[in-house]
Structure 1
Amino acid sequence: MPYAITPEDESVESALRRIAREEAAHALEMVRATGDLAPRVHEMRKTVKKLRGLLRLARPVLAVASAENAVLRDAGQGLSGLRDAAVQLATAESLSATIPSDRREALLAPFRAAAAHHDARAEAELLPPFADVMDSLILRSEGWRLRREGWDALEPGLKATWAAARRALKAARREPSPEALHEWRKRVKDHWYQARLLRPIWPAMMDPHIKAADDLGEVLGLVNDLAVFRDRLDAADLAPVLKSEAKDLATLRHAELMARALPLGRRLLAGDARALTDRWGTWWTLRDAA
């Protein structure tokens, strides 16, 4: 079934348990699959984020949500070195696409080496502990109990996440530091996952909203990748002139991305949390109407 609370689910509580079980099972399939590791790790990390988005939606009414979120956060961080090395290589490749081939190859060399190093040790060191976390989550999720049901179980978490995303936008506009932009991205991603969970309330209206949140999250993800790239660049064994050139390219790309992110964020996050939850709550009530 989809990553969504559907009319076929008996209750919100049963829906959350089902989604957790299905997502964890998908992650286990990726652990046990064969072939290229990079796309499998990407899927595992996506699963962790989807599960954490689910838990943030339920956090005000699920007593174990914070503890479960902490377990998943640690599991995701365990995989981050694998994924981050691949992302930084992709960032370097994208930024250097227009420079002469000799300088491009010199720039890419340390990032290629880092990606190869992480891949070599991944399965032995990181994948079995991750699988244990997913197995345990499947068992524990059967005991999840919500303090409320129906829209009353969903509204508090949705409202809290929307309000947090709006605060993060304001902070990023005041001071667009890497830390502020990273926080904004996380809160936008939280809302994106929650909107996906609620898509069945009115797909025709929810789909454009979900796409806008996805687009903003992707742009802010690229901004974050550039910030990490600049940090890695400082430590890379590269000639100073090449480092300077790469930083200039990153600065230009950052400006281009922010010119897209800020207007999109202001449009997406217009209106306070009450307005959003009142509207979506009405759609929830009418979701089975002909």
Structure 2
Amino acid sequence: MAFVLKLDRDPGAELARVMRGEVNSALRLLAVTPRDASAFRAAIHDARRALRRCRAALRLLPPDVAIDTLLQPLRAAGRALSPLRDVQALLETLAQLQQQQPALLGSAHPALLQRLARQVRAGERKHVDGVLAATVVLQTLATTLAGWRPEVTHAQLWRGLRRGALRAARAAHCAHEHADEAALHRWRRRMRDHALQLELLSGAWPLVLASEVAERKRLARMLGHGRDLGILRMHVRRLRSEHLGRLSRDSLLQRLRHARAALLHDAHALGARVHAEPPRALALRVTRYHAAAQA
């Protein structure tokens, strides 16, 4: 199901349709058995993406609309899956590095892969109960959504887009000023929300807005990869062995630090372009696209 509102229809009914679709999709994904490790990891990743889409959609609504009854179970389901997803993300980060920058890991890759794979398997056994907890929460939420239909206008959606863009721009400014882990993580989350909200409203002019959504998602992925590199460095520091293959632990840490710094430099450069348009102007432009399409 495309994550796009049909803007020629009632906005409240469309939001409800999208929310129900994402929650039902997450429930189907969480039914995957852990015996197939690869499919299980993909299912957890995709289920968490569905929950993020739901939260981003809800944040388009006006502040005076009571959405806590929906946001709280979404957060609870996300928290139940987070420990499981965090351990799985290590292997994906390692695979991405080996594919895109094989020289970075060098001879350390086989030893590091073996060590991290053991940690991931242990983490999956420890946190697999989170899937059951998330499933129970989402089943209750699906029942709630069956009769949910918010009263919302197109104008309120445009204002929601502006709020999301403003939150992302402020987080980007804070990350540029301070560059600490908390600020970068906040920018990533705000950027991800903003990209999803723009995607949801991209029906105003699909061909034009699709490329803008893609660049915002690319920025969010870059920030996420930067965070994963930081977590990987933390795990490497904890290794008892001084050598990984023919590469020393200190050398690998230095390589990872340089790779992360280069990635964040590129992220700030892309962010400067993504946030160049003021949030008010972006919302007004999308409003005009929709009005022209309706005319």
TM-score normalised according to structure 2 size: 0.88
What is the identity percentage for the equivalent residue pairs of Structure 1 and Structure 2? Answer: 26
Following the alignment from structure 1 to structure 2, what is the Cα–Cα distance between the partners of residues 31 and 216?
28
Deviations 1:78-137 (A, max 9, x none): 112222112112334555743553x433333331111111333554x1222211222122
Worse overlay, 209-218 or 133-142:
133-142
Partner residue in 2 for 1:255? 261
Describe the shift of the 1:173–1:100 C-alpha distance in structure 2 as closer, same or farther (beyond 3 A).
closer
Is 1:170 matched up with 2:173? yes
Structure 1 position 62 matched with structure 2 position 61: no
Q: Which runs of 5+ in 2 are unaligned?
A: none
Matches within 5 A, 1:149-168: 149-168=152-171
**1:268 pairs with 2:271:** no
How many angstroms does 1:283 deviate by?
1.7
Distance 1:243 1:71, change over 3 A: farther
Once residues 249 and 107 of structure 1 are traced to their aligned partners in structure 2, the CA distance between those partners, rounded to angstroms, is 14
Corresponding position of 2:119: 114
Query: Which amino acid in the other structure matches residue 82 of structure 2?
Result: S
Aligned residues: 284
Partner SS for 1:6 = coil
Q: Which amino acid aligns with 1:286?
A: A
Shift of 1:38: 0.6
**Residue of structure 2 equivalent to 1:140:** 144
- Partners of 1:151 and 1:203 lie apart in 2 by 17
- 2:206 corresponds to: 203
On the 8 A contact 1:24/1:138 being kept in 2, the answer is yes
Structure 2 counterpart of 1:244: 250
Deviations 1:117-166 (A, max 9, x none): 1333554x12222112221222222444545x322221232121111111
Cross-structure match for 1:4: 4
Question: Residues 260, 75 of structure 1: CA spacing in aligned structure 2 closer, same or farther, 3 A cutoff?
Answer: same
Output the CA distance in 1 between the equivalents of 2:198 and 2:95: 33
Q: Which residue of 1 aligns with 2:188?
A: 185
Residue 127 in 1 paired to residue 131 in 2? yes
- Shift in Å at residue 242 of structure 1? 3.9
1:284 positional shift:
2.3
Which one-letter code corresponds to 1:181 in the other structure? Answer: L
Supply the RMSD in Å over aligned alpha carbons. Answer: 2.2
Aligned residue identity for 1:19: V
Post-superposition Cα deviations, 1:209-231, rounded to whole Å, max 9, x if no partner, equal: 11110111111110111122223
**Distance of aligned partners of 1:80 and 1:243 in 2 relative to their CA distance in 1, 3 Å threshold:** farther
The code of the aligned residue for 1:76 comes to G
- Per-residue Cα deviation, 1:181-213 (whole angstroms, up to 9, x for no partner): 111111110111001100111112111111110
Q: What is the CA-CA distance between 1:6 and the residue it aligns to?
A: 0.5
The runs of at least 4 consecutive aligned structure 1 residues that moved more than 4 Å come to 93-96
Displacement of 1:12: 1.0
Which residue in the other structure is 2:13 paired with?
14
Shift of 1:50: 0.7
Residue in 2 aligned with 1:90?
Answer: 92
Does the C-alpha gap of structure 1 residues 238 and 76 become closer, same or farther in structure 2, counting only changes over 3 Å?
Answer: farther
Matches within 5 A, 1:26-65: 26-34=25-33, 35=36, 36-64=39-67
Partner SS for 1:57? coil
Q: Is the 8 A contact 2:73 2:138 kept in 1?
A: no
1:61–1:92: structure 2 CA closer, same or farther, 3 Å change rule? Answer: same
| Cα drift, residue 233 of structure 1 | 3.1
Structure 1 residues without counterparts, runs of 5 or longer: none
Distance 2:294 2:97 in 1: 49
User: For residues 281 and 114 of structure 1, what CA distance do their matches in structure 2 show?
Assistant: 49
Match for 1:196: what amino acid?
Answer: E
CA contact (8 A) 1:4 1:200 kept: yes
- Matched residues in 1 for 2:50 and 2:8: separation? 22
Instruction: Give the counterpart letter for 1:42 in structure 2.
Output: H
Measure how far apart 1:180 and its partner are.
1.1
